[in-house]
Amino acid sequence: DIQMTQSPSSLSASVGDRVTITCRASQSIRSCLNWYQQKPGKAPKLLIYAASSLQSGVPSRFSGSESGTDFTLTISSLQPEDFATYYCHQSYGTPQTFGQGTKLEIK
Amino acid sequence: QVQLQESGPGLVKPSETLSLTCTVSGGSISSHYWSWIRQPPGKGLEWIGHIYYSGNTNYNPSLKSRVTISVDTSKIQFSLKVSSVTAADTAVYYCARATASGGWLYYFDYWGQGTLVTVSS
């Protein structure tokens, strides 16, 4: 299985901060990397697909990038509604796998 | 607007079969992959498998021997069966639509709200 190592596992930040979450794949996954946001008791919501494409309706403060097997989700200026858990997801290999999640909390 | 809704028993006895159905509304079941994903309480996400509208399936090898996903295009529904369940199968089960393109682009763009299934006697 392709392992997705997400870091950090938790993060405290303030409104207005710039935040970066990283996901490292255990092997090449091309650009088959997606990012989701999940709030308590809710289903995940797609933010970024194909490493850097912004899903329709998602604010432009969210962005994604890649460098080899390292993928990054950046939130340029945190808003109150952004405090949630974030997951990366690789769709290159079977089984598809998710990172373990990053819980973003208010400082 | 595409909507997905899971339905099925919330409590299943050990060794029995878990059965869930996902009803799709607001869109066609054609030309997409239809997936099941689960999340044990307080834990991360696990992909169970998917079915293409034509009926082709792909399963997580760790669950493959116990999982069956089927589709009913006339009812615009797809279903999940997990046999011989144990407490380790207790989770919130999500159905989701995957959009795929170019042989490599693939992402879950619509999700159901999720349904908690508890395995307990």
Question: Mean pLDDT over all residues of chain B?
Answer: 95
Percent of chain B clearing pLDDT 70 (strictly above): 100
Q: Å from B105 to nearest chain A CA?
A: 6
Judge whether A8 and A86 are in contact, CB under 8 Å: no
Q: Under an 8 Å CB criterion, which residues of B touch A?
A: 44-47, 58, 60-62, 94, 96, 98, 104-109, 111-114
Nearest Cα residue to B91 out of B22, B20, B25: B20
What radius of gyration, in Å, describes the C-alpha atoms of chain B? 14
pLDDT digit string (tens) for B31-82?
899 999 999 999 999 999 999 988 999 999 999 999 999 999 888 999 999 9
Residues of A in contact with B57 (CB under 8 A): none
Whether the predicted pLDDT of B104 surpasses 80: no
Which pLDDT belongs to residue B102?
78
Listed in sequence order, the residues at least 6 apart from B115 whose beta carbon sits closer than 8 Å to its beta carbon are: B6, B7, B8, B10, B20, B92, B93
Cβ(B4)–Cβ(B111) below 8 Å: yes
Partners of A14 in the beta sheet?
none
Residues A30-65: b if buried by 16+ CB within 10 A, e if exposed: ebbbbbbbbeeeebbbbbbbbbeeebeeeeeebbbe
pLDDT in tens, A64-103: 999 999 999 999 999 999 999 999 999 999 999 999 999 9
pLDDT at residue B73, as a whole number: 86
Residue B30 has pLDDT above 90, yes or no: no
Contact with chain B for residue A46, Cβ under 8 A: yes
Long-range contacts of A18-21 (CB under 8 A, 24+ apart): A18/A74, A18/A75, A18/A76, A18/A77, A18/A78, A19/A74, A19/A75, A19/A78, A19/A104, A20/A72, A20/A73, A20/A74, A21/A72, A21/A73, A21/A74, A21/A86, A21/A88, A21/A102, A21/A104
